[in-house]
Structure 1
Amino acid sequence: MLNDLLNKDRIMLNIVCENWEDAIKTGTKILLNDNCITKNYEEAIINNFKSLGPYMVIAPGIVLAHARPENGVKKLSMSLITLKNPINFGSELNDPVKLIITLAAIDSKTHLEALSQLINLLMNTNDLNIIINAKSKEEVLNIINKYSIT
């Protein structure tokens, strides 16, 4: 369930970051501090951006940061940050970015239900805008709970 992965401890709002790499590190730091991933996982995400380009910018203003499970995922987890000032990630179509979701999947299947719920949320423009402009974690959690249904 999405709300099992995105709780108040894994959400940060209106963060100031210098560049895309700083923004990625902010999202992964939440999971590092929670012992969900290793530093290698963070490095793998950054290296993927550098070598493969901005394919993780999945929609206007949204990054879904991730790497392979074997790159250092300890347990299925997710973090969500919003940026105070949007940042360019190098995506011609979808820059600038204001929302970064970091996904750490342990395999190719266990995260699919939560990812499906997340995609449904991201497709709802009104709910997405509430999250992007949220001033409190409770606002974000209310939206997440709406999509965390079985």
Structure 2
Amino acid sequence: MNFLDRERIQLDVSVDTPEAAIREAGKLLVKNGDVEEGYVEKMVEAFRQHGPYFVIAPQIALPHARPEDGVNQAALSLIRLEKPLSFGHQTNDPVELVFALAASSSNEHLEVLQRISKLLGNKQTIQQLLMTGSVDEIEIIIKELST
């Protein structure tokens, strides 16, 4: 599984809408061959149909679509927004970290969720992700949590 390696992280992304944020996070998955382009639009469509259900914690969104919507391999990308953005979630807006999830099976989905909950279950780690100045620093944070 490709879990937040440097090719799947982009910092200080400037967007004006939740859909644009989802697309930017999804582009990193497409660029690395993790998903087909149609998968990104399915993530946007899920947001339009179901609202911000994937804004899972304060400042954090985890958009995803179904495996059959074009997942080639399990992966997780991250974009940090230049400015916080409202996704319409009553308690967890505004969003600053957008993690795009691609899982090709329910087992992979659970594995990714376990890894991301370890990453995001620590408020100090979230602050580090929000404040760090480089992708190199984010890689160090993620490696430390993986050990």
Distance 2:24 2:130 in 1: 16
Provide, for residues 86-108 of structure 1, a one-character-per-residue CA deviation record: whole Å limited to 9, x for no partner: 01101011111000001100100
Give TM-score, length-normalised by structure 2: 0.95
**Deviation at 1:111?**
4.0
Aligned to 1:47, the other structure's residue is in SS state: helix
Answer with 44-53 or 112-121: which moved more.
112-121
Give the equivalent residue in structure 2 for 1:133.
131
Residues in 2 aligned to 1:48 and 1:110: alpha-carbon distance in whole angstroms: 20
**Superposed CA offset, 1:70-124 (max 9, x none):** 0110111110110010011010111110000011001000243342121011110
Q: What amino acid sits opposite 1:98 in the alignment?
A: E
Aligned counterparts, 1:68-79, within 5 A = 68-79=66-77
Identity of counterpart residues, as a percentage?
39
Where does the alignment leave 5 or more consecutive residues of structure 2 unmatched? Answer: none
Q: Distance in 2 between matches of 1:5 and 1:123?
A: 16
Q: Is the 8 A contact 1:118 1:147 kept in 2?
A: no
* Match status 1:109 vs 2:107: yes
**Equivalent residue of 1:82, what SS?**
strand
What is the CA–CA distance in structure 2 between the aligned matches of 1:146 and 1:113, rounded to whole Å? 18
1:64 maps to a residue whose letter is L
Distance 2:106 2:89 in 1: 26
Which sections of structure 1, spanning at least 5 residues, go unmatched? none
Question: Do the aligned partners of 1:61 and 1:94 also contact (CA within 8 Å) in 2?
Answer: yes
Distance 1:24 1:110 in 2: 21
Which AA in structure 2 matches 1:46? V
Query: Could you tell me which amino acid in structure 2 is paired with residue 139 of structure 1?
Result: E
Which ranges of 4 or more aligned residues in structure 1 deviate by more than 4 Å? Answer: none
Distance 2:29 2:69 in 1: 14
Cα distance in 2 for partners of 1:146, 1:118 equals 13
Q: 2:143 aligns with which of 118, 131, 145?
A: 145
The residue type paired with residue 38 of structure 1 is: E
With the length of structure 1 as denominator, give the TM-score of the two structures: 0.93
Q: RMSD across aligned C-alpha pairs, in angstroms?
A: 1.2
Greater relative contact order (Cα < 8 A, sep 6+):
1
CA displacement, residues 6-50 of structure 1 (integer Å, 9 cap, x when unaligned): 111110011111211111110000111111111211111111111
